[in-house]
Amino acid sequence: MARSLILWLIWASFIIYLLFFAPPIAADTVKLSLSINPVIVSLFSLVGIWLLIYSCLIFPDGRMQSLPAWAFILAAIATGVVGLIPYLALRQPNQSFVGEKGTWITVLDSQKTGVILTISAVVLVGYALIWGDWTGFVQEFLTNRFVHGMSLAFLLFCVLFPYPTLLQDDMARRGLIAESQLFQVVAWIPLLGALGYLCLRPPLLMSHSNKF
């Protein structure tokens, strides 16, 4: 109950902040910023990486929930963290996985997917660090709602990943009870911790018993 309440407060606060307190959006500068500054291009792409990271946990978790996981991921693709938080708040703790994985979950469950996402993220971060205009990014962050909100959303993705109970349930489904504290500490490392978890976690432990 407390977990859900905190998540809903974060969700509502983020929306209210963007609507009433964030810098005004300059529609004519959004496309220009994306096409010119490697920092903003990388940040935009890394938000997409985060959505794939969460998908690797949410789609297997959604098998055991009454919520349509795909609908929340589609909402997150359109609205970022605004569409994701409601799933985290509404889902019920569940540490089992019943039935066959299927093609899509098999792909998301693969360590190779984690490796591909990690390589992609490292390339994007390197691109921003080497060729990015950080002074221009700070200026955009302070004056453009699109860049401002995207930056805050990226930070929320980082903070919410190890927050109970999605990650803990995913570890339990893989028999990582003994290593759970270590992985939870690693998961707090922004972005790289989550990617490291995807690269190292073992496959799902499947059960063929009925859910109910």
- Answer whether residue 92 is part of any domain: yes
Mean pLDDT of 109-120: 97
Alpha carbons 185 and 147: distance in angstroms, whole number? 29
Q: Which amino acid is at 194?
A: A
Mean pLDDT of 58-80: 94
Mean pLDDT of 131-152: 92
Please give the tally of structural domains in the chain. 1
- Answer whether residue 111 is part of any domain: yes
Tens digit of pLDDT for each residue in 32-61?
Answer: 555 678 999 999 999 999 999 999 999 999
Say which residue the tokens 């080497």 belong to. Answer: 130
Q: Which domain holds residue 48?
A: 2-19+29-200
Position 28 pLDDT exceeds 60: no
Mean pLDDT of 137-166: 92
- Answer whether residue 210 is part of any domain: no
Mean pLDDT of 149-178: 91
Report the mean per-residue pLDDT for the chain.
90
Mean pLDDT of 14-34: 76
Mean pLDDT of 196-206: 90
Higher pLDDT, 88 or 176: 88
Q: Which amino acid is at 98?
A: V
- Answer whether residue 207 is part of any domain: no
- Answer whether residue 211 is part of any domain: no
Q: Which amino acid is at 21?
A: F
Position 29 pLDDT exceeds 70: no
- Answer whether residue 24 is part of any domain: no
Work out the pLDDT band at 129, boundaries 50, 70, 90: very high
Alpha carbons 178 and 158: distance in angstroms, whole number? 24
Higher pLDDT, 156 or 205: 156
Buried/exposed 52-69: b ≥16 CB within 10 Å, e otherwise: bbbbbbbbbbbbbeebeb
Task: Tell me what pLDDT residue 176 has.
Answer: 87
pTM of the model: 0.91
Task: Tell me what pLDDT residue 19 has.
Answer: 93
Helix (H, G, I), strand (E, B), or coil: what is residue 134?
helix
Position 74 pLDDT exceeds 90: yes
Task: Tell me what pLDDT residue 107 has.
Answer: 96
Q: What percentage of the chain exceeds 70 in pLDDT?
A: 91
DSSP 67: S
- Answer whether residue 104 is part of any domain: yes
> How far is Cα of residue 208 from the mean position of the Cα atoms in its chain?
29
Residue among 62, 89, 72 nearest 7 (CA): 89
Structure tokens at 155: 């930070």
- Answer whether residue 102 is part of any domain: yes
